[in-house]
Amino acid sequence: MREEKDPLGTVRVPAEAYYGAQTARAAANLPIGGPRMPRDLVRAVARIKRAAAVVNGELGLLAPEISRAIAEAAAEVLAGRFDDQFVLGVFQTGSGTSTHMNANEVIAGRANEILTGRRGGKHPVHPNDHVNLGQSSNDVIPSAIHIAALEAIRGRLLPSLARLGEALARKSAEFASVRKIGRTHLQDAVPMTLGEEFSGYARQVELAGERLRALEPRLGELALGGTAVGTGVNAHPEFAPRTIAVIARETGIAFRRAENAFEAQAARDAAVEAAGVLRTIAVSLGKIADDLRWLASGPRCGLGEIRLPELQPGSSIMPGKVNPVVPEAVLQVTAQVVGCDAAIAWAGRGGNFELNTMMPVIAHNLLQAIALLADASEVFAARCVEGIAADRETCERMIERSLALATFLVPALGYDRAAAMARAAWESGRTVREVLRAERLLSEEEIDRLLP
């Protein structure tokens, strides 16, 4: 179905639309630009609606044919069949009610078509009385945020990080014998191996996975069953635990009812925590990406200790120039994820008393951050890390030229005399080894024993 819009972006309801009057009014009165509500959030809402229809049928609250029609329609939304019917943007009512009603109307409209052959409408399936039975935007949207986030973390981000971590670990093993100079403060430090350097990167990514998995107990709590303010008004006492059990079984994630419904609806602390972890991961990836840019700098007038895969011409004016494309793309992703975290932190305190009223922007930024980090990790591994090669000759030459080799002389000469050797090497343009030989402070055997 193609949507028609006037110059302000207002959606006009086509005759074949599944959504109804409430969605149309919301679209007409919110002609604000920007992205639509995330597909993953719509998918999570549909998952809730499907499970709710099944449970409400089992509880005898819905007629069997209505329960089945709603469940079938929700499954189709879950599969993406009606993505074009979700017309609302992120910047809407702070509870996400606009998108929630959009889902209720699409599901009801499709359920009516299943039962009667006529799409849309409120009979025999009503969007509020039947699709929304035992629910409220105020408990569905917070639950959908948690479901969507955990599904995206498990299904996309963790596997992508695992691939990146494995690629870095393989490079650590491959470079285990490549000696190079270490650096602190961007200055020469003592020698190490390139493999040791890459082992640090691999551990950063491994810890990223641990941090994400540690979020599951909080993101696994669902507000479902609290309805309007957490009291559970109009919800059957068995509705929430049974519906959440269906969702947990279908997703393979240990979702459970929130220990305190009032906290689960009034605050978005778990999302704020998750955003902080995503920011930490972004900072980790940014550190790795920036290091690789420096290590590959040159190729002749920089460090040049590693070579990155050549992906595309690096300049429209300088022939033969090749840029570190993927690390720079990753660095831009990290900037965006840090921005997402800032938006979520601001939105996390947005609301009063029993409801946060900035949930759409939280959902958008949280799911965007997860998706960006997943894609960046996958590309980083496949298009960069897996193709890195070491320049052993450059690495060895850097070690021999380093003034930091004077560190190894301290046990034999003391700090001050070792520092004098380093100063003499720097001023004369010689290596520390050459100065030692010229000064004859140590025998050739002692020099070879002390210096790497």
Q: Which residues pair with 390 in a beta bridge?
A: 306
Active-site residue list = 185, 315
Tokens of 78: 């879950």
Cα–Cα distance, 278 to 332 (Å, whole number): 14
CB distance 232 to 241 below 8 Å: no
Cα–Cα distance, 219 to 71 (Å, whole number): 25
CA distances from 392 to 1, 55, 196, 259, 398 (A): 59, 64, 15, 57, 10
CB distance 30 to 92 below 8 Å: yes
Tokens of 103: 């889902």
Residue 228: exposure state from Cβ atoms within 10 A (0-12, 13-18, ≥19)? middle
CB distance 36 to 88 below 8 Å: yes
**C-alpha closest to that of 309 among 291, 296, 290:** 296
Neighbour count for residue 371 (Cβ, 10 Å)? 16
Cis peptide before 124 (omega within 30 of 0): yes
CB distance 252 to 286 below 8 Å: no
Residue 155: exposure state from Cβ atoms within 10 A (0-12, 13-18, ≥19)? middle
Tokens of 232: 């559970």
Instruction: Using alpha carbons only, give the angle 218, 220, 223 rounded to the nearest 5 degrees.
Output: 90
